[in-house]
Amino acid sequence: MSKIFINLLTATCCILFIGSSFGQTKSNEPNCVTFSYNDLLAIRKSINARKSEYLPSYKHLLANADRLLKTKPEKVTDGDLPPTGDVHDYYTIGKFSWRNPNTPNGMPYIRGDGKYNEEAFGDRFDLSRFDKTVSNINTLALAWFYSGNEKYASKARELLRIWFIDPETRMNPNMKCASALPGVYDGMALGIIFTVSLIEMTDHVQLLRLSKSWDNSSDNDLRKWFADYNAWLKTSDFGKEEKAGKNNHGTWYSAQIISYSLFSGTSDDIDKEFDLAKEKLSSQVMPNGDLPLETKRVEGFHYFIYGLKAFNVLANGLQKFGYDLWAYQTPDHKTLALPYKFIIPYITGEKAWTTGGVIEVKATEQILMLKQASEKYDLPEIKKAIGHLNAAMKPNDIGRLYIYQ
């Protein structure tokens, strides 16, 4: 056999390996962790029949998506130069970071829980640009899925490429300069929480993979971005610190690792992630179902829901790899069902929340969480809570397009 043939064969095998690691054929069904693909299929069938309770929400979705077609893409390179000196690094101060009122120049910044600083959401920083980009991608992907109109998928692909892929504008796969506290820290580990929204975005990208506008090059590049980000999360000091987090930060770290492993096609150390998830459940959930590290916060109800949602997403992701956190019981008989039993009376209004303020949590987020739990646990009160939340939603709420009743 000639050396030329051997070299060609080796090169071909390498290409096939890369494709199998980061590529996914369009025949593969979306493997979502934040919503049910089968529910979306059922809703689409109902919309196509044109006799549907979902039509007001569908029209609202398309109106929003049409407006996005004309918007200028956001770029991570548009803000202030990060402390690293690399314009491709995500950079923002923390939401709770404030100028020091006791110094002439406001330095060093100080932190205060429960009170957002609007400066963090300004044009100097990437927080709003990032959140807007992710939200717009989700809207466009969902609009394509329900309408079949490729103009929405094409725009979503453009936004994805500009933020994550194109060399001149892409974001580096790290959060070195997230949640900065100027004069104290160039960034903090807790800034990793800002990328939690990417979990939902990767679910929407899986819908886009079914469109004609999506291409293998973009798919491979995006998969690699998430594989690289996962590697940074696992090896960086910030990532290790967040991994050890005792509250929702630690759980969301794990949920991100599992979700991005699923999306990128990597599966290293999932067994260790399952062990870590069991430890988090054991340490964070009390025998009565309380999550005390969340409920003690200024906005305790919001943080309880946020912390429980992290466990929900983590359990869904682990199940895709064959590990069942939903069914796991700690040695002292605690399960993931307990926090649902704890919070439902507060969701339905049967009990009044008394620890800290209560801020609105989107009904969609709560219903999706409860609906997934209802498929795992035989708890009649969950269905009651879903009915209560569903009745409070507006007829044209876009959130209805994720929930098949």
Q: Where are the domains of the chain?
A: 28-402
Q: What CATH class does 28-402 carry?
A: mainly alpha
Are 249 and 190 within 8 A, CB to CB? yes
Q: Can you tell me the mean pLDDT for 296-323? A: 96
Distance of alpha carbon 276 from alpha carbon 258, whole angstroms:
12
Distance of alpha carbon 67 from alpha carbon 174, whole angstroms:
31
Are 106 and 170 within 8 A, CB to CB? no
Neighbouring CB atoms inside 10 A of 104's CB total 6
Distance of alpha carbon 197 from alpha carbon 133, whole angstroms:
11
Are 272 and 257 within 8 A, CB to CB? no
User: Residue 355: which pLDDT band, with cuts at 50, 70 and 90?
Assistant: confident
Are 318 and 270 within 8 A, CB to CB? yes
Tell me: pLDDT of 215 over 50. Answer: yes
* Helices 127-147 & 55-68 angle (0-180, nearest 10): 130
Distance of alpha carbon 160 from alpha carbon 279, whole angstroms:
35
> What local confidence, expressed as pLDDT, does residue 356 receive?
67
> What local confidence, expressed as pLDDT, does residue 366 receive?
96
Distance of alpha carbon 379 from alpha carbon 337, whole angstroms:
9
CA proximity to 239, closest of 270, 278, 195: 195
Encoded tokens for 93 = 């101060």
Are 130 and 198 within 8 A, CB to CB? no
Cis check: omega of the bond before 108, within 30 degrees of 0: yes
Q: Give the global pTM.
A: 0.91
| Residue percentage of the chain with pLDDT more than 70 | 92
Are 174 and 4 within 8 A, CB to CB? no
**Considering just the CA atoms, what is the radius of gyration of the chain in Å?**
22
β pairing state of 110-111 and 97-98: antiparallel
> What local confidence, expressed as pLDDT, does residue 390 receive?
94
222-278 pLDDT per residue, tens: 999 999 999 999 999 999 999 999 999 999 999 999 999 999 999 889 999 999 999
Q: Which of 23-32, 96-105, 116-125, 303-312 has the lowest mean pLDDT?
A: 23-32
The residue with tokens 């709560």 is 366
- Reported in sequence order, the residue ranges of 164-283 that DSSP labels E, i.e. its strands, are 177-180
167-200 pLDDT per residue, tens: 999 999 999 999 999 999 999 999 999 999 999 9
User: Residue 21: which pLDDT band, with cuts at 50, 70 and 90?
Assistant: very low
> What local confidence, expressed as pLDDT, does residue 44 receive?
98
Distance of alpha carbon 373 from alpha carbon 367, whole angstroms:
10
Distance of alpha carbon 219 from alpha carbon 216, whole angstroms:
5
Distance of alpha carbon 228 from alpha carbon 170, whole angstroms:
13
Reduced to 3 states (helix: H, G, I; strand: E, B; else coil), residue 360 is coil
The whole-chain average pLDDT of the chain stands at 92
In the chain, the largest separation of any two C-alpha atoms, in whole Å, equals: 79
* Burial class of 379 by CB neighbour count within 10 A (0 to 12, 13 to 18, 19+): middle
